[in-house]
Chain A
Amino acid sequence: MLTLDLDLGLLVLVMTSTRPFRKILIANRGEIACRIIWTCKEMGIRTVAVHSDVDRDSLHVRFADESACIGPAPSAQSYLNIPAIISAAEIFNVDAIHPGYGFLAESAYFAEICEACNIKFIGPRPGVIQLMGDKVEARRTMKAAGVPITPGSPGALDSEEEAIKIAREIGFPVIVKASAGGGGRGMRIVRSEAELGHALETASTEAAAAFKNGDVYIERFVERPRHIEIQVLADEHGDCVHLGERECSIQRRHQKLLEESPSPVMTPELRQEMGEVAVAACKAIGYSSAGTFEFLLDEDNRFYFMEMNTRIQVEHPVTEMVTLTDIVRNQIRIAEGDPLGFGQDDVIMVGHAIECRINAESPDTFTPSPGLITTFNLPGGPGVRLDTYVYPGYRVPPFYDSMIAKVIVHARTRELAIARMRRALDAMVIEGIKTTIPLHLKIMDDPDFQAGNISTRFMEEFLSRNGFREKSVGTASAALTGASG
């Protein structure tokens, strides 16, 4: 890059090569759109925000260099509206699109269209997105790459007989899952052979209704698993590293509430083993950009591949804090064609980080609480990071995700991090809407949480310990979590 200060007192001449991005369009909203803008600003990259009409006053629109309204409130007509987004990208002449998470982030179709329009999609190639998006294919591919997968059917089940045979091999309890599914739907736990036939039928029907695909498969069901995920970064030249793990077991209805890094049960040996498996798998499928391998860890610390997310994740900040990296920055550099520039030996993990997702919901009933924020006091001080898109006077719309902020703390030890999170949440005052801050404060005080005794059953047990009575949600999730009602 050549910069001439011409001493005419008036002008600055800037010449750049075309490979680094000058301008990125962010095909998303909310806190992740802001997050991407922050890094773009640091890199001197101009940003274009697209938004629905109700998001006109949203923070990402305010801070982007340019913006355009692309449709009305419903996501299908705005944030999922591919022609509108591409049209905006062409008008603003952007070099690349960052899809964030959710929305079109894992749409192989969208990635292909970007490619066809000569706009760089910041993420892996469409073929890889497609592959990992099909859960059955992903399992098969991972197994072939030497990744341990939960014992189960090799693919979608053809018959009840096949299911019975496999269940006998792997042992009850088993779980029936939708091939095209996620989020707890199309799932049934089966504890005995007698229940299997019925469970297969209902799961398949539910899957067909929710995902237009009634294919199901079965896996061994681990009673008290931990959800441990490995963050990877791969460039487009075949190099790949992992950035350690995140513990994400604290979930309610398959939505994560709280995440941390490192995991309280992780050992350096296990981390190395899981990390190496993830990196080898990335290389086997030709992965590039940021990605996350989700594993189940059973009570004997054996890990099994669950799925891979071919995008940046909500909880990426805890990894950034302990590894001192900027994942968005790396995604952008990788998309520009830069080599990774560092190896596994350069990756460090320092201290302990915890993230609490703050939702605009009642902390007692979890009912959504959109509306006008009248007071908003941010916590600050040592080791506190806040990723948000709201501000005093902002009206939280009812059309989208209820998450309004992520509070992330970093400290030397887990104990200090918990204390830090407690005082940060105490100082975080949001009025005008209800938020789940009180819930997180209770979790910080919970003895099991403090001891690191957590599994994916934690939230359900915590809620019943603390007198929450949840409305019945439908048989699938109830069966999964054992909640009555």
Chain B
Amino acid sequence: MSTGVKSAMSDQEDKQAEVVPSPAERPAAGSQRERDRDRGRRRHRNQPRHLEASINMSELRELIDLITENGLTNFELEREGFRVKVGRGTFVEDPGAPALLPGASERQIGGQTGSPVQSIPASAPSHPGALAEEAASVDQDLHIITAPIVGTFYRSPSPTAESFVRIGSEVEHNTVVCIIEAMKLMNEIQAEAAGEVVKIYVENGQAVEYGQPLFGIKTQ
């Protein structure tokens, strides 16, 4: 069972909404102690100290305060033995907040009976590519680098290293622009185009699907 904190926010700029990649699976270049510290720091910030199977009211209130203070709409915590899910109102995604993370928003596809024809849901369920596709669609004259596999997108070879590319970087066909991790393997993705990076459609640590736009390259 994964033991991490996942949180989705309507306001994506708040630091506390950082996406934690699949825990314990990312080989980090930093020292073991550094990594432990990081993990501990994250845990302290977002998680009450003791959450046993029989939760008590004061811890619960702490949790609730955390959520309301930070404007969270959904909060999910998993530990060995149990899982906690807390949400504001019904689990309907705030229409003003595009979902970047898979599973971040629980969509209520209102009241359909499951009969296949009469009511097709107007909006598709959350999938990793939704937002990026919208953004990329306006950049018709750019060469779009898309994900050739499904996995987790990383901007740099390791958590402490520099990004492979940034806005303005020049790339050649075989320039490595990012890593997509799938099944514990780090796959280096090459630009396969020559030009300047002008758009980046995804965030570090974000799950990406096959065909999802990653970078926009202005070719010569």
Whether B103 pairs with A66 at a CB distance below 8 angstroms is yes
Residues in A with CB closer than 8 Å to B196 are: none
- Give the docked Cα–Cα distance between A378 and B114 (Å): 14
Whether A61 pairs with B125 at a CB distance below 8 angstroms is yes
- Say how far B182's CB is from chain A's closest CB, in angstroms: 4
Number of interface residues of B (CB under 8 A): 47
**Interface check A70, CB cutoff 8 A:** yes
Chain B residue with the shortest CB-CB distance to A39: B114
Within residues 108 to 166 of chain B, which ones have a CB less than 8 A from any CB in chain A?
Answer: 109, 112, 114-117, 120-121, 124-129, 149-152
Interface of A is mostly: mixed
Contact of A62 among B22, B88, B124, B183 (CB under 8 A): B124
**Interface check A267, CB cutoff 8 A:** no
Residues in B with CB closer than 8 Å to A46 are: 103, 106
Residues in A with CB closer than 8 Å to B109 are: 63
Known: A10-B89, A70-B150, A91-B207. A65 touches B182 (CB 8 A): no
**Interface check A388, CB cutoff 8 A:** yes
- Give the docked Cα–Cα distance between A306 and B117 (Å): 38
- Give the docked Cα–Cα distance between A22 and B6 (Å): 16
- Give the docked Cα–Cα distance between A83 and B148 (Å): 12
Partner-binding segment picked from A12-20, A237-245, A408-416, A446-454? A12-20
The interface bits of chain A over 76-106 (1 if a CB of B lies within 8 angstroms of the residue's CB, else 0) are 0010000110111011110000000000000
Partner-binding segment picked from B40-48, B170-178, B208-216? B208-216
Whether B116 pairs with A391 at a CB distance below 8 angstroms is yes
Contact of B183 among A17, A63, A86 (CB under 8 A): A86
Residues in B with CB closer than 8 Å to A388 are: 116
Interface of B is mostly: loop
Whether B207 pairs with A62 at a CB distance below 8 angstroms is no
Whether B149 pairs with A87 at a CB distance below 8 angstroms is yes
**Interface check A266, CB cutoff 8 A:** no
Chain A residue with the shortest CB-CB distance to B185: A83
- Give the docked Cα–Cα distance between A67 and B212 (Å): 13
Known: A22-B83, A59-B116, A90-B22. A15 touches B55 (CB 8 A): yes
Residues in B with CB closer than 8 Å to A15 are: 53, 55, 82-84
18 A–B contacts from the bound complex (CB under 8 Å): A6-B64, A10-B88, A11-B67, A12-B86, A13-B60, A15-B84, A61-B127, A62-B120, A62-B124, A65-B106, A65-B126, A68-B102, A68-B210, A69-B209, A86-B183, A90-B22, A91-B150, A93-B103
Q: Name B residues whose Cβ lies closer than 8 Å to a Cβ of A.
A: 1-2, 22, 53, 55, 60, 64, 67, 80-89, 102-103, 106-107, 109, 112, 114-117, 120-121, 124-129, 149-152, 182-183, 207, 209-212
Q: A8-B64, A66-B126, A68-B102 are in contact. List 17 more A-B contacts (CB 8 A).
A: A10-B89, A11-B67, A11-B86, A11-B88, A22-B83, A34-B116, A46-B106, A62-B125, A63-B125, A67-B124, A69-B150, A70-B150, A71-B149, A84-B150, A86-B183, A391-B120, A392-B117
- In the A-B complex, list the 5 residue pairs whose CB atoms are closest, starting with the nearest: A87-B182, A68-B209, A91-B207, A69-B209, A67-B127
